Amino acid sequence: MSETRFLLESIISKLNESENKLNPKLWDNNGDLKPEVKDHLLDIANEFLDNFSIDIDVQDIDIVGSNAGYNYKSKSDIDLHIITDYNGYPADVDIIDELFNAKKNNFNNNYDITINDLPVELYIEDSNSPAESNGRYSVLNSEWLQQPEYIEEPPVNQELVKEWSDKIEDVIKSNDSDKIENLIDEIWDNRKEDVRENGFTGEFNLVFKNLRAKGLLDKLRQASFDTKSKELSIK
């Protein structure tokens, strides 16, 4: 996507957003999740859970992130979190976390699911370590667990966006799987640290959203699969 087109879409997206409205693709005017959206999200969660060889003790299924608040963008994911207690399984928490992340990554990479053109990103969340979010909605119980607040976002640091965009493109061109994996870890760690310290309007989190909207994070992840596949193959 060209920079001009991306900036134009960003402006249109901003014009379509409101500081007192939830995403109309998901929510009705009363702030309730649309029934057909709820049904499909539960179907998605059940499809994911059917892929497990162990029974998952589901405490709740929540929407978190941008689409559980007012600061959504036109291409914001629907972050669908299945809540469970990691301590309730007969294995070390780190092993359970690794298993759940592997299952989550496999599902998200193999399925291309959208709700009204919004990508659905599925995740298993430890109830003992809840994800930070400006809003949280229980799909199972049809209720807000945390009411969102509108937060004025500062301008995105476009110089930093370009710096990271160039870094991603350079690393992809290197065809070095280790460099690509290290950059992926660096980006996600930086985002997590920024959200923890500065909230969702932190500078790097806004840069992260920009990179994701431009498709660069998906491109980086695909490059990781491609380069590793080549390294593990022989002619």
> Does the pLDDT at position 151 exceed 60?
yes
Instruction: Please give the mean pLDDT across all residues of the chain.
Output: 89
> Does the pLDDT at position 75 exceed 80?
no
> Does the pLDDT at position 61 exceed 80?
yes
**In terms of pLDDT, which residue wins out, 176 or 200?**
176
Average pLDDT over residues 215-222: 92
Can you say whether the dihedral through the CA atoms of 196, 48, 61, 43 is positive or negative? positive
Burial class (CB within 10 angstroms; exposed 0-12, middle 13-18, buried 19+) of 9: middle
Q: What is the pLDDT of residues 85-94, one digit of tens each?
A: 999 999 999 9
What is residue 126's predicted lDDT score, i.e. its pLDDT? 97
What is residue 139's predicted lDDT score, i.e. its pLDDT? 98
In this prediction, residue 109 has a pLDDT band, given cuts at 50, 70 and 90, of: confident
> Does the pLDDT at position 18 exceed 50?
no
Average pLDDT over residues 118-126: 95
What is residue 10's predicted lDDT score, i.e. its pLDDT? 53
Q: What is the DSSP letter of 47?
A: H
pLDDT above 70 covers what percent of the chain? 92
Average pLDDT over residues 202-221: 92
What is residue 19's predicted lDDT score, i.e. its pLDDT? 55
- Which spans in the chain are helix H? 3-16, 35-49, 93-110, 158-174, 177-198, 203-213, 216-231
What is residue 16's predicted lDDT score, i.e. its pLDDT? 44
In this prediction, residue 152 has a pLDDT band, given cuts at 50, 70 and 90, of: confident
Euclidean distance between CA atoms 124 and 82, whole angstroms: 5
In this prediction, residue 3 has a pLDDT band, given cuts at 50, 70 and 90, of: low
The closest alpha carbon to 65, from 137, 1, 15, belongs to: 137
